[in-house]
A and B are shown apart, each in its own frame.
Chain A
Amino acid sequence: MTDAILVLEDGRTFRGEAYGAVGTTVGEAVFATGMTGYQETLTDPSYAGQIVTMTAPHIGNTGVNGEDDESRRMWVAGFVVRDPARRPANWRATGSLDDELVAQGVVGISGIDTRALTRHLRERGAMRAGISSGGLSAEELLTRVRAAESMTGADLAPAVTANDPYVVPAVGERRFTIAALDLGIKTATPKALAALGVETHVLPATATAEDLLAAGPDGVFLSNGPGDPAAADYAVEAVRGVLDAGRPLFGICFGNQILGRALDLGTYKLRFGHRGLNQPVLDRVSGTVRVTSHNHGFAVDAPLDRPTDTPYGRVEVSHVGLNDDVVEGLRCLDVPAFSVQFHPEAAAGPHDAAPLFGRFVDLMETARTGDAQAGGPPPQVEHSTAEKSA
């Protein structure tokens, strides 16, 4: 067993054993509370640049398989677990997680008090951290950590995006074609759309509005992705172009933040973010609560109690996180655009929010028929009654 250390930028140090690749890594320390789905988490591009602590103690039990990757590789900067599995046990497993981490060069640490680390991050916020199983002392590692780039201001989407466009065909009859801006898109998203008869043309993060609209898509989709939305001006510009064109638009996660910025709303960094599969979100129109998959360190700043006027007309907060009242969704009332901060594509996580893809399809249907009444006007939040009681 090789010793490993994890050092936070405020100097707190945890000592454990090397897990995955041996070496040294730095990144932003965050925690994820899902009890399943480590393979999806590791391959979710939104985790790029982050050292992810799994709060569930046993990781690797089901090994890895060829079906559950959410992108072409693992993206996390480092991986922190308490009790790695010694062997995979699942009928779909094709290998062990440990081996896969080694193969992909992901430096990890195991055997530390992950709950203590989580409580630390909860109280003091996500911060830079480093893991070393490469012989660095805690002091040396701390120096490197403090020299590392902060997540605030980091522009990471271009680093994770697929540089070459590709197409995910519809399953069965093709009903719509969309352009998706790949800011770090997960496999599950085009798959969910394909099941609804949508063909997705995935374009790189730096695609312009012209690129997105070039093929005359029925709608434009903005994916999830890593980094600070404040640093992704190129995407904001592209979205404004799409809004100007009046083309139906749906964004999730980072895409929600980009839409927010395109509407001149601000974004800010949450203290420790939302990363889990159990987050309650209130759909303020229907009044129902959905248990949703989250992975975001930044959020949109918008008033909850009234629609806001923007250069593209009024926008209202359609979804709100019940744990902390964070904005979890936006809906434009005067242009065909909406977005959510959470993950309707799940993977990992519950499927409660999957109907939102259907809402996007409805929006495109309405736009195509040119009949605003076909899908009806977007139902609005009743601000007088939809507030949380107490």
Chain B
Amino acid sequence: MPRRTDIHHVMVIGSGPILIGQAAEFDYSGTQACRVLKAEGLRVSLVNSNPATIMTDPEIADATYVEPLTPEFVEKVIAKERPDALLATLGGQTALNIAIGLYENGVLEKYGVRLIGADVDAINRGEDRQQFKDIVRSIGADAPRSRVCSTVEEALETAAEVGYPVVIRPSFTMGGLGSGFATDEAMLRRMAGHGLADSPVSTVLIEESVLGWKEYELELMRDRSDNVVVICSIENVDAMGVHTGDSVTVAPAMTLTDREYQRMRDVGIAVLREVGVDTGGCNIQFAVNPADGRLVVIEMNPRVSRSSALASKATGFPIAKIAAKLAIGYTLDEIPNDVTGVTPAAFEPTLDYVVVKIPRFAFEKFPGADPRLTTTMKSVGEVMAMGRNFPEALGKAMRSTETKVAGFWTGADDQRSAEELLEALRTPVDGRLYVAEAALRAGATVEQVAGASGFDPWFVDQIALVGEVGAEVRDAPSLTAELLRRAKRHGLSDRQIAALRSELAGEDGVRTLRRRLGVRPVYKTVDTCAAEFAARTPYHYSSYDEETEVEPREKPAVLILGSGPNRIGQGIEFDYSCVHAVMALQDAGYEAVMVNCNPETVSTDYDTADRLYFEPLTFEDVLEVVEAERAAGPVAGVICTLGGQTPLGLAQRLKDAGVPVLGTAPEAIDAAEHRGSFSRVLADTGLPAPAHGTATAFAEAREIAARIGYPVLVRPSYVLGGRGMEIVYDDATLEAYIAKATDVSPEHPVLVDRFLEDAVEIDVDALFDGSELYLGGVMEHIEEAGIHSGDSACALPPITLGSADLVRIRAATEKLAARIGVRGLVNVQYAIKDDILYVIEANPRASRTVPFVSKATAVQLAKAAARIAVGESIAELRAAGVLPASGDGADLPEDAPIAVKEAVLPFHRFRTVEGHNVDTVLGPEMKSTGEVMGLDTGFGTAFAKSQAATYGSLPTEGTVFVSLANRDKRSAIFPVKRLADLGFRVLATAGTAQVLRRNGVACEVVGKFSDGPGNVVERITAGDVDIVVNTPFGSPGNSGPRLDGYEIRTAAVSQGVPCITTVQGLAAAVQAVEALRRGDVGVRSLQEVHAALAGGTLGGPSTFAGTSA
């Protein structure tokens, strides 16, 4: 059945900002889908508020709208573009919910838009838990006993029937938000309350617990001829009870017989058919009772998901790409399998390797957050690794996560007894694999460990096997080639072996010995078919096996090192830069070779680079890839400056090992990153920086603080995302900080900087080739200095800076770039206070803002950076059309639109052990998971769009609650008065109310949380407040205003009320509210914006449709 002829123009909805539970995997899926549709000759319109994505690159779709993902804005795009079909199954739960919204409010019908890929009834059947269970039972399969409840009382009754513990699952939330286990009535009462609030339809499912059962997932696809294939089976090492996104998972399933697997497959296919997903992908989750094999169906996602992205990378079968083709009418047998080129996509991939996925967490970012893993997803990223057996894949995955430990025995020895370790295993937390290994080593049996952890005994036995091999390595009189090979075949890294054999002079010593003995990895191919057919796609993974499959090549290769697992501070933005480097280098005649271990990304799509190595980003693994590629043909070098801190940290060692490092030299990177050498850079360039010093002990830090004056900003050296940063106002807090920072040493000092209060912070991304500077973009932060740049909203072009400021910024950036020795991208952060331009820091690498700047200015900085890295000059790039022929990002036309970047924060996903929300206050440590962009002609509208994209929308009327720190009271009067003039009712705490009333703002006094009944927290919780303005003061843990603020902000987050925590943010919000009240906010595609920028004018039909000038 060939492609449908009634579809000419498809609209795709992306998933918006990166959130916990909905992350970069949807950029991967969405990009694939858009490319497929476009290649079919269809017009593609895309809406996605996330600028840090490849899918929002202007060449991916025909019309790209970086607009808020709300039904209102999507309707505006529909009205403008008039697509005839909507594909909403590739943008996660966000896209699906919008599609349902547009269907239910009649917009789709009004504009004659058909939903393709899944229909609303099928979506509802899949997502509505009761309907879904009925379907499962109707096909003769089993599901946990349960009931959908709309009140807490109903939930309690149901629990009494099915027996505690019970599971609570709010309907229609993503990533399992609000889900959990309740073991008693009090717990259930509280959790059901939260769950009812989290659910957009205010219902929760209460069901029989299958806690501790084995957990499996199947990824299926169906076409419109009713052909169904299973792409991948996934088995979770963590048993039921831990969200699959937070579980260590393995593909294919390891502990099922064929009979049991086929039963699961039959049930999965029957469910898919009965739910009626007519075309596309779907994911079904199962639980199996380990005692008797009882199989129950847990849930299904009638769309592309995180698991389907993992399954695509794990098998080489591109689910999203195929789903897009199926949606426009092709059948599976009509679509070729890209990997073999000769066989069809109508088949089931078979694996001759093992895939292990390990989640990456960020609990250190949220002090007080409950670290226990539950059915609410908490991880911020994941790694995947492949090996020819489970131990090899496991070892690679463990070292890919880039936590403090890199596999067994690389951290401090766990001194606990077997009994203590077994007890610890009973509570699911991050890192249980390490505890399991320690327990076995301490004498626990496989059965005991399996019993305590819920891991299948087979997995525990494999961990035991790795432990036994480790013991052989430790105890052997000398390391023979045979023993080394055995160790490598069980996944041991050189670093692990070095940890076991202290006489080998560390990892380098192990490598030298290993190479002398000829123990080297080979590279196998992911081919979907276990070698039955030849693969055309060079998608490789290493293994200590016999035969390598790397083909020789002629063209020089450039290796691009990716950014590893997504984490707070290092996310999709860096993958964006890596993917752009791949494209730019291919254009320049190189073979682009990608090395990365993050399955969620576009960079690890086998379609992206010429060759893909799915490998850990450790020195050992990268060096072996370099050697393999050197054996295959000429290697021009490695690019380490685009993937964030991960590859940057490898640059010097690679260079020392004789690998050409392209672009900015490792020594130059070091000059910028090390405080001592950076001080010399600043001295040489004559640029001022806040007074500062470095300390390795409290006494030293106190002396520095005394010299430069409080407040001071303290942080460890060499960090990304501001890990461990704090603003400190007194000696006591400083002492506490130093005591907490356990890693402080002469090699890792603490930096103590004078903190510039009320300064304007500026972020600059620029290119430098050794002689010319291209100022990519100058961004002005909306929050003052002290909020991490990743969490701060910012505007481009800068909204309050004059041309004299830009001249100064350009000159300073050029001096810094030249002195540091930048060849490529550099990001500089400045602060302006009292008309002095201070340099805060300079990072000679791609920054988090590169994609934002590129989208806002229509210049692809990362591509230019990659070309500079291979020796081209900015002049040449201007001539080649990679950069504009003249001018740069600092001289945008007067009427250029304003782009506002806003951070998206994950506070609502974290609760304390007691079940309260964690504090939502911003500070110097980055906490956001993602970002959105608002783009419009004026700042107010652009900011309003950014807020709509983050929170839904800002209210244009209602009640604002204001509680201000003393220092903010003066500057907040005007914006609060403006809100009152616009008709907002103002609630304020006593002190704030006093100041406001004196300035003619009528307001009602409301009690603080500590004032007892009737207080503001109750009012927020009751839904009486539409905007919360609360500027905090003091450091975490203090009592008084700080604690009150915490209760206020967490209540706001729980209720989904916009919560503004800075005066600057308030001022911007007021402008936004005004813009919204003027109404008539329009939408405009990036392609139109970019064309206008290239033409230097914004006139004519290309203004934001509907925007009043």
* A interface residue numbers (CB < 8 A to B): 14, 31, 33-37, 39-40, 55-58, 61-62, 65, 67-68, 82-83, 85-87, 89-92, 112-116, 118-119, 122, 272, 276-280, 282, 287-289, 291, 322-324, 346-351, 388-390
Contacts and interface: CB of A to CB of B under 8 A. Distances in A.
Contacts of A350: 262, 265, 348
Contacts of B349: 278
Interface string B286-310: 0000111100000000000000000
A61 B350 contact: no
22 contacts: A33-B352, A35-B350, A56-B350, A56-B530, A58-B354, A61-B254, A86-B461, A86-B465, A89-B457, A112-B546, A116-B547, A118-B530, A276-B532, A277-B258, A277-B350, A278-B348, A278-B529, A291-B348, A350-B265, A350-B348, A351-B266, A390-B334
Contact of A57 (B229, B258, B265, B388): B388
A287 B258 contact: no
B351 interface: yes
B351 A35 contact: yes
Given A56-B350, A116-B547, A36 B293 contact: no
Nearest to A64: B257
B347 A348 contact: no
Interface residues of B, number: 59
Contacts of B261: 36
Nearest to B353: A57
Contact of B256 (A62, A347, A389): A62
A61 B458 contact: yes
B169 interface: no
The dominant DSSP class at the A interface is loop
A104 B342 CA distance: 40
Contacts of A276: 350, 530, 532
The dominant DSSP class at the B interface is loop
A121 to B, nearest CB: 9
B1033 to A, nearest CB: 57
A214 B1043 CA distance: 93
Contacts, number: 174
A286 to B, nearest CB: 9
Q: Taking each of A56, A67, A91, which has the highest tally of chain B beta carbons within 10 Å of its own beta carbon?
A: A91
B278 to A, nearest CB: 15
Contacts of B465: 86
Interface string B315-353: 000000000000000011110000000111011111111
Top 5 closest pairs, chain A to chain B, by CB: A37-B258, A89-B458, A116-B547, A113-B546, A55-B530
Contact of B347 (A86, A122, A279): A279
A118 to B, nearest CB: 4
Given A85-B458, A288-B225, A118 B531 contact: yes
Given A89-B461, A280-B333, A282-B333, 19 more contacts: A35-B351, A55-B531, A57-B353, A62-B256, A65-B257, A82-B389, A85-B458, A89-B458, A122-B531, A277-B348, A279-B347, A287-B225, A288-B225, A289-B346, A322-B344, A323-B342, A349-B262, A388-B333, A389-B2
Given A115-B352, A119-B531, A119-B547, A37 B257 contact: yes
Contacts of B274: none
Interface of B: 2, 225-227, 229-230, 233, 252-262, 265-266, 290-293, 331-334, 342-344, 346-354, 388-390, 446, 456-458, 461, 465, 524, 529-534, 545-547
A389 B3 CA distance: 12
Contacts of A322: 333, 343-344, 346-347
A278 B252 CA distance: 14
Contact of B546 (A40, A116, A389): A116
A288 B228 CA distance: 10
Contacts of B344: 280, 322-323
A339 to B, nearest CB: 22
Contact of B292 (A34, A57, A91, A324): A91
A86 to B, nearest CB: 6
A150 to B, nearest CB: 23
Nearest to A348: B258
A81 B1037 CA distance: 59
A33 B260 CA distance: 18
A227 B266 CA distance: 32
Nearest to B546: A113
A115 B255 contact: no
Contacts of B352: 33, 55-57, 114-115, 118
B350 A289 contact: no
Contacts of B547: 113, 115-116, 119
Nearest to B524: A115
Contact of A347 (B258, B524, B545): B258
Q: Taking each of B233, B252, B333, B446, which has the highest tally of chain A beta carbons within 10 Å of its own beta carbon?
A: B333
